[in-house]
Amino acid sequence: MRKFLAAVLSMMLLASLIVLPASAEEAVTMDNIKIGFVHVSDPSDMGYTYNHDLGTKAMQAALGLADDQIINKYNVPETDECADALQELIDDGCTIIFGTSFGFENYMLAAAEENPDVEFCHATGFQAAGSGLANMHNYFGKIFEARYLSGVVAGMKSLEIKNNMLGYVTAMPFAECISGFTSFYLGAKSVNPDVTMKVMYTNSWNDPTKEAQVAQALIDQGCGILSQHCDSTATATTCEANKVFHVGYNSSMISVAPNASLTSAVWDWSAYLIFAVNSVVAGEAIPADWAGDLASGMCDLSEINEAIAAPGTDEAVETARAGILSGDLKVFAGPLTGAGKNYDGSDATIELKADEFFDESGSQSAPSWNYIIPGVEVIGE
C-alpha cells in the first residue's frame, strides 16, 4: 500500500515539474492586461457577488477584453486562503487585482507591500490611505444616496396604503448597515413625516431562511412595507406571500415579487472597474480612496414598478434626485439627533443643527454613520 502510494505520489511530483516558461516583461496594454478578482462567494448568491460580477461583465464589454484576460477567484474565505488566492493571481500574471470582501484587506495590504508592480483595489475597506502604499486602494460608494431615493418610493406608498410603519431586514449592527437603513428612513420621512420604522438584524450577509423569518416577524408586527440589506431575495418573496410591499437592494427584485417589490437601491460597480483598469493602462495613479455616487452612476435606483407604485412617486424621486445631484439636498442633514456606539464600545451621540450635515463617505469611502435616530426602533438589542 505504502509503496503504491509512494509510486503514485512520485508520478504526480514528476508531472508537476513541467513548469510553464515565464513570459517576458512587456508594457501593459488593453490587449495584454490581466485582471484578477477575489470574491467571498460566487454569483449564485444573486446579491453582492452577483452584482459585482455584472460589473465585471460590463467592464469587459466596455473595454473589449478577452475572456482569458479576466481571472475570477470565487468562494475565497477571509482567511490565509485569501493570501494564497492573491498569490495565484499574481503568478498568473495579473497586474490589477480587485478584492470585494471586507476581511480581505489585511491580506491585500501584505500582498501590495510584496508586489509593488501590481495594483490592489479593495472594496469596503478603510486602510489604504493610511498604509502609505501607492498600489493599495479602497473603493466603495455612496449607496445611501440611492437608499434615500428608495425610501422616497416607500414613503409615497405608505401614504397611499395609510400604514406608517416600515420594516427593515438588515445584516449586522455596524455602520454600513446603520447608515443604510437610516438613509432609507430619512427618504421615506421626507415625503411622510409620520412614518416610523422597525429594524431587525439577521447577523449574516446571506441566510435566506433567517431573512424570511425576520421579514415575517416584522410583517406580523404590522409593518406594511419592508426593505432589506442582505443578499437574498427572501425578504421580497415573504412580502409577496403576505401581500405587503417591498424595496430591495443590490438588484431589482420585481421578477421574484411582481406584486410586492417597488424598486431597489442598486450598485453599478463597472463605473469603478473601468476607471481603475483604464488608469493602469494609461499609467496613471488610482486614488487611495474612491467613493462612487449617484452622479458617477455607481449607485442608483433600479426601475420603479409602475403597476404598484403610488401615484406621484416618479415626480417625488426626481425632485430628490435633482436635489442630491445639485448638492442642495444632504441625506444626513440637521436638525437630526442620534445615539450609537464608538469603535471602543462606549456610547456616542450626534446632534446636527439645522444648517449642519454629516458628510457620509466624504473622507473615507466606507460608511461611518453609526447612530440610531428617533423614529427608528431596533428590535432585539
Interaction site with another protein (CB under 8 A)? 1-5, 8-9, 12-13, 15-19, 42, 71-75, 77-81, 84, 87-88, 91-92, 102-103, 106, 124, 126-127, 172-176, 203, 341, 343-345, 366, 368, 370
Q: How far apart are CA 47 and CA 194, in angstroms?
A: 32
106/252 with CB nearer another protein: 106
45/293 with CB nearer another protein: 45
In our burial notation (b when 16+ CB lie closer than 10 A, e otherwise), range 139-152 reads bbbbbbbbbbbbbb
57/243 with CB nearer another protein: 57
42/356 with CB nearer another protein: 42
For the bound state, the minimum distance from the C-beta of residue 2 to another protein, rounded and expressed in Å, comes to 7
For the bound state, the minimum distance from the C-beta of residue 106 to another protein, rounded and expressed in Å, comes to 5
For the bound state, the minimum distance from the C-beta of residue 73 to another protein, rounded and expressed in Å, comes to 6
Residues paired with residue 71 on neighbouring β-strands, in sequence order: 36
Handedness of CA 359, 169, 222, 147 (dihedral sign): positive
197/366 with CB nearer another protein: 366
Cell of 60: 469587459
For the bound state, the minimum distance from the C-beta of residue 27 to another protein, rounded and expressed in Å, comes to 21
Cβ atoms of 262 and 308 within 8 Å: the answer is yes
For the bound state, the minimum distance from the C-beta of residue 173 to another protein, rounded and expressed in Å, comes to 7
Strands (E), the chain: 35-38, 70-73, 96-99, 119-123, 136-141, 165-170, 196-201, 225-229, 245-250, 261-267, 289-292, 299-301, 336-341, 347-352, 371-372, 376-378
Q: To which residue does cell 510553464 refer? A: 20
Cell of 87: 498569490
111/234 with CB nearer another protein: 111
Residues paired with residue 339 on neighbouring β-strands, in sequence order: 349, 372
For the bound state, the minimum distance from the C-beta of residue 230 to another protein, rounded and expressed in Å, comes to 14
Q: How far apart are CA 281 and CA 33, in angstroms?
A: 8
Q: How far apart are CA 185 and CA 113, in angstroms?
A: 42
9/61 with CB nearer another protein: 9
